[in-house]
Chain A
Amino acid sequence: MPLNDYLIVAGVLFTIGVAGVLLRRNLIVVYMSLEIMFNAVNLGFVAVSNYLNLVDGVIFVIFIMVVAAAEAAIALGISIALFRVKGTIDIDSFDELKL
């Protein structure tokens, strides 16, 4: 398969992820959309690395997985903490960041 086909699929996934982040207001769904974006990038990495006959891209995928795992732990911890305080996970109700 040509490289571009893989990259197009990765691009479609990435944009779907972006749209999900912007569209949904449920914190957990936003988080899952982020995971879709991660996966799109991973697919791109592996495809390019396969095309160029390199392994470095695959190594990056492993590191991205590590970061995603860490992020999952933190994000879900924050979700629980916020839910405990606010009683909801609608992200429009979290506006404490403003001045």
Chain B
Amino acid sequence: MEILFYIFSILIIYSSIMVVASKSPLTSALYLILSFFVLAGFYVILDMQFIAAMQILVYAGAIMVLVVLVIMLLNLEKYKNIKTDMHQKFISGLIFMVLFVEIALFILTGAGRKPTGIFTSEVIKRVGNTQVIGEFLFTKYIFPFEISSILLLVAIIGAYLFAKKRF
């Protein structure tokens, strides 16, 4: 398991860096799909197979197909040469460093908490991953669930309006 974790970690960091660093948007998109798959692997390690499946279906499947479609549609390959100037690089690097140090310090100095819940890996395995999530989603979180459906409706209408030729 540990070996898997390290492989995944290296893979996801590498692919994320490549998303940011590669010149072509299409290459970035492909690296992003790779990172999504690796993330799904992480979820499997953490005993969340349902989320792993969702990750691949929603992100790697739906969203990334959309992104790649847009890149193709706009023929973005010819915009490879949008250059970043030096002071932008400098500021981004600075912020990258400071933010990373702060997050690392936060994680490392944070006071540890003892596990409090009842849903240990054994329980989840016995009951079944999907059933546990489903019960929570349709009882405790029913209201946010309904709200998110309205959010999606708004997004559909918004996307339709934006994509229309004439407003």
Contacts and interface: CB of A to CB of B under 8 A. Distances in A.
Contacts of A33: 19-20
A15 B74 contact: no
Contact of B148 (A17, A20, A66, A83): A66
B63 A69 contact: yes
Given A50-B46, A65-B58, A66-B152, A77 B158 contact: yes
A45 to B, nearest CB: 9
B46 A8 contact: no
A47 B63 contact: no
A24 B20 CA distance: 7
Interface string B133-160: 1001100110010001001101110111
Interface string A68-91: 111111101111110100001110
A22 B63 contact: no
Majority-rule SS of A interface residues: helix
Interface of A: 1, 4-9, 11-20, 22-26, 28-29, 31-33, 35-36, 39, 42-43, 46-47, 50-56, 58-59, 61-63, 65-74, 76-81, 83, 88-90
B150 to A, nearest CB: 10
B116 A54 contact: yes
Given A23-B89, A46-B48, A62 B133 contact: yes
Contacts, number: 218
Nearest to A82: B162
B104 to A, nearest CB: 6
Given A53-B115, A62-B133, A77 B159 contact: yes
Interface centre among B62, B82, B132, B160 (most CB of A within 10 A): B82
Nearest to A91: B82
A36 B35 contact: yes
Instruction: Return the 3 tightest CB-CB contacts between A and B, nearest first.
Output: A77-B162, A70-B155, A53-B117
Given A19-B92, A51-B115, A81-B162, 18 more contacts: A9-B9, A9-B13, A11-B103, A15-B100, A19-B95, A22-B95, A23-B88, A32-B29, A52-B116, A53-B120, A58-B136, A61-B51, A70-B151, A70-B154, A74-B162, A77-B163, A79-B70, A80-B163
Nearest to B148: A66
28 contacts: A4-B107, A5-B5, A5-B9, A15-B96, A16-B16, A16-B19, A23-B84, A24-B84, A25-B82, A25-B83, A26-B76, A26-B82, A28-B25, A32-B25, A32-B28, A32-B29, A32-B67, A43-B42, A50-B46, A52-B113, A54-B117, A56-B136, A56-B140, A59-B141, A65-B59, A69-B152, A72-B63, A74-B158
